Amino acid sequence: MDLNTARMKTLSIILAGGRGSRLKQLTNNRSKPAVPIAGKYKIIDFPLSNCINSGMRRIAVLTQYRSHTLNQHVQRGWNFLRSDFNEFIELWPAQQQTGSDWYRGTADAVYQNLTMIDGLKSEYILILAGDHLYKQDYSIMLKQHIESGADVTVACIEVPIKEADQFGIMHVDEGDNIIAFEEKPTNPPTMPGKPSICLASMGIYIFNTKFLSEHLRSDAGDEASSHDFGKDLIPLFVGHCKIKAHHFSQSVIQNESYPDTPYWRDVGTLTAYWEANMDLAKLTPELDLYDEEWPIRTAQYQRPAAKFNYNYEERIGTALNSVVSAGCIVSGSTVEQSILFNNVRVNSYSYVNKCVVLPSCDIGRHCRLNKVIVDSDCHIPEGTVIGEDAVADAERFYRNADGITLVTQEMIDALP
Per the annotation, binding residues are 103, 168, 183-184, 201
Spatial CA neighbour of 37 closest among 45, 28, 48: 45
Distance set, CA 224 to CA 182, 231, 276 (Å)? 18, 12, 37
Task: List beta partners, residue 91.
Answer: 61
Binding residues for alpha-D-glucose 1-phosphate: 103, 168, 183-184, 201
Query: Which pairs from 259-265 meet CB under 8 Å and 24+ separation?
Result: 261/286, 262/134, 262/157, 263/133, 263/134, 263/135, 263/287, 264/132, 264/133, 264/134, 264/157, 264/202, 265/132, 265/133, 265/134
SS3 128: strand
Query: Is residue 131 within 8 Å of 33, Cβ to Cβ?
Result: yes
SS3 396: helix
CA distance 240 to 174: 18
Query: Is residue 195 within 8 Å of 156, Cβ to Cβ?
Result: no
- Pairing of the two strands 345-346 and 362-363: parallel
CA distance 394 to 400: 8
CA distance 66 to 12: 22
Per-residue DSSP letter, 233: I
> Cβ of 231: how many Cβ atoms within 10 Å?
17
Distance between terminal CA atoms of the chain? 67
| 68 backbone φψ class: left, alpha, beta (φ>0; ψ -120 to 50) | alpha
Per-residue DSSP letter, 381: P
Spatial CA neighbour of 346 closest among 357, 337, 333, 336: 333
